[in-house]
């Protein structure tokens, strides 16, 4: 799409072709299991929202650290608040009908939807979260961000994703090994409604989010006073077009409004929270990303002759042998990649990005492997172990948040000035601003 008001017809037709293919593929999957179709459709929607709003979990730490501007961080907190309020209603209604959290359920018992995200926390949660936090900073994105970046044409995301997948396998194995040790057995599973009641759990969670919101605002004010603050700036063609008295449905102005105008972080967060609740309501489980990555890693390594006979890989091998295209998590992840690509194709902005060197490749490899290893060591990533866990009232999510945040800050401090930790991809404008700020800081 050109800023002059011309539609990039080539990219538009490619996007329409992909939509048709997704429709055909979804119909084919539906012949086996309608939930598989639902998984790929929800994935496409998630990817589209992530890219259209430039939304990312890693950016919640990275952006405010580098620029002092916390709009993404605040949007994340609001998204968490909306999601957990909606989830509370789902949990409460199910519990009133006799359902219990999955970790307490006996065979045949009714399970609270989404409660599979209520997990135990131990040393693995802390170590894994910290390692994941470092990895997502130096690789340039989190789990969902790596998928959406790949869909946007960022080749560095393909490098990070490959090693993310490979790192997930040893991380998964180590988590089970640690669980058998004395220190690994020091663990707890805390479902907040069992401590505070459902109303109390919501209030306590919202108070924590409010405290984080206040800290974010205070930090923004501090950075403004210190002179190290940069506003969030959109590209000119991402801004709303001037109002026109004569409305025409079939016009460039309408097309721009629907497919090019950038969504705010807040709009992205609200839409993601709606998708989050939709996934719980339609699947009974919460959103996750990296469980599928472990299956991808096992499938890849089995393909080159490696065998997995350990008990901790039994269910994964069984799932892989049935076919990855029959795995709901795999289909949702593929959908995220496709949805991100569609967002840029419909806007006429898709292009492949090769802007990195050999040093960057080594960093992306390291970051991707650390993310995969850390995520599976902790039992989840920024989605499963953080977002889904907190919004399903598991204390483990808050533990993971602290570990991930500390790891993210450590990654920024360790690699600042040594590597381009904000790769050129969907944040082209922001990257220019951040580079200018670095120059200004050096000059001072």
Q: Using pLDDT thresholds of 50, 70 and 90, give the confidence band for residue 417.
A: low
Only one residue has tokens 């479902």, namely 191
Only one residue has tokens 């991402």, namely 238
Q: Encode pLDDT of 51-87 as tens digits.
A: 999 999 988 988 898 889 999 999 999 999 999 999 9
Q: How far apart are CA 361 and CA 188, in angstroms?
A: 39
Handedness of CA 103, 272, 406, 353 (dihedral sign): positive
> What are the residues whose beta carbons fall under 8 Å from the beta carbon of 109, sequence distance 6 or more?
99, 100
Q: Encode pLDDT of 97-152 as tens digits.
A: 999 999 998 888 899 999 999 999 999 999 999 999 999 999 988 999 999 999 99
pLDDT, residue 231, reads 85
Q: How far apart are CA 109 and CA 174, in angstroms?
A: 31
The pair phi, psi for residue 386, each rounded to 5°, is -110, -75
| Mean pLDDT over the full length of the chain | 90
* Helical segments of 233-391, H only: 252-255, 265-283, 290-303, 314-322, 328-346, 358-378, 388-391
Q: How far apart are CA 353 and CA 156, in angstroms?
A: 8
Two tokens, residue 394:
């598991």
- The alpha carbon of residue 73 and the mean position of all alpha carbons in its chain are separated, in whole angstroms, by 14
Residue 418 has pLDDT above 60, yes or no: no
pLDDT, residue 362, reads 93
Percent of the chain with pLDDT over 90: 78
Asked whether the beta carbons of 143 and 382 are under 8 A apart, the reply is yes
> What are the residues whose beta carbons fall under 8 Å from the beta carbon of 320, sequence distance 6 or more?
295, 298, 299, 302
- Packing angle between helix 143-151 and helix 328-346, nearest 10 degrees? 50
Q: How far apart are CA 122 and CA 182, in angstroms?
A: 11
Residue 421 has pLDDT above 80, yes or no: no
Coarse DSSP helix, strand, coil percentages of the chain, rounded to the nearest 5 percent: 70, 0, 25
Q: Using pLDDT thresholds of 50, 70 and 90, give the confidence band for residue 392.
A: very high
* Helical segments of 97-190, H only: 123-139, 143-151, 155-179
Q: Using pLDDT thresholds of 50, 70 and 90, give the confidence band for residue 352.
A: very high
Q: Using pLDDT thresholds of 50, 70 and 90, give the confidence band for residue 430.
A: very low
- 374 versus 233: which is more confidently predicted? 374
Q: How far apart are CA 34 and CA 57, in angstroms?
A: 30
Q: How many CA atoms lie within 13 A of 132 on its CB side?
A: 36
Two tokens, residue 315:
């269910």
Handedness of CA 282, 283, 286, 287 (dihedral sign): negative
Bridge partners of 191, per DSSP, are 394
> What are the CA-CA distances from residue 91 to residues 41, 43, 276 (Å)?
25, 24, 14
Q: What is the pTM of this model?
A: 0.92
Percent of the chain with pLDDT over 70: 93
């Amino acid at each position: 799409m050109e800023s002059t008001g011309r539609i990039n017809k080539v990219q538009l037709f490619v996007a329409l072709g992909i939509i048709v293919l997704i429709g055909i593929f979804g119909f084919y999957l539906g012949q086996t299991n309608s939930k598989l179709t639902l998984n790929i459709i929800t994935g496409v929607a998630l990817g589209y929202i992530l890219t259209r709003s430039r939304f990312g979990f890693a950016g919640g730490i990275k952006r405010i650290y580098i620029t002092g501007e916390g709009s993404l961080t605040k949007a994340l907190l609001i998204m968490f608040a909306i999601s957990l309020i909606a989830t509370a209603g789902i949990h409460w209604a199910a519990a009133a009908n006799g359902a219990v959290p999955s970790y307490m359920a006996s065979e045949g018992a009714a399970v609270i939807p989404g409660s599979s995200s209520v997990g135990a926390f131990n040393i693995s949660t802390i170590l894994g979260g910290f390692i994941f936090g470092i990895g997502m900073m130096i690789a340039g994105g989190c789990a969902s961000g790596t998928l959406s970046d790949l869909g946007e044409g960022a080749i560095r995301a393909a490098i990070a994703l490959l090693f993310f997948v490979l790192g997930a396998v040893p991380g998964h194995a180590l988590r089970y090994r640690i669980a058998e040790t004395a220190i690994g057995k020091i663990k707890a599973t805390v479902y907040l409604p069992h401590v505070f009641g459902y109303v109390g759990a919501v209030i306590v969670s919202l108070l924590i989010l409010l405290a984080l919101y206040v800290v974010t605002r205070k930090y923004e004010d501090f950075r403004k006073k210190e002179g190290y603050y940069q506003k969030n700036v959109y590209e000119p063609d991402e801004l709303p077009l001037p109002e026109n008295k004569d409305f025409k449905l079939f016009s460039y102005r309408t097309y721009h409004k629907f497919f090019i105008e950038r969504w705010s972080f807040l709009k992205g967060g609200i839409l993601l929270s709606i998708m989050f609740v939709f996934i719980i309501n339609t699947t009974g489980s919460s959103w996750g990303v990296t469980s599928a990555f472990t299956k991808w890693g096992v499938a890849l390594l089995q393909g080159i002759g490696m065998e997995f006979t350990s008990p901790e890989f039994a269910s994964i091998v069984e799932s892989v042998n049935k076919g990855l295209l029959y795995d709901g998590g795999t289909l949702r992840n593929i959908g995220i990649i496709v949805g991100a690509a569609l967002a840029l194709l419909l806007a006429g902005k898709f292009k492949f990005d090769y802007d990195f060197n050999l040093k960057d490749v080594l960093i992306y490899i390291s970051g991707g492997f650390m993310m995969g290893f850390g995520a599976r060591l902790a039992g989840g990533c920024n989605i499963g172990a953080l977002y889904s866990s907190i919004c399903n009232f598991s204390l483990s999510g808050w533990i993971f948040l602290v570990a991930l945040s500390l790891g993210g800050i450590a990654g920024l401090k360790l690699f600042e000035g040594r590597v381009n930790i904000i790769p050129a991809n969907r944040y082209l404008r922001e990257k220019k601003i951040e580079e200018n700020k670095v120059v200004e800081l050096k000059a001072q």
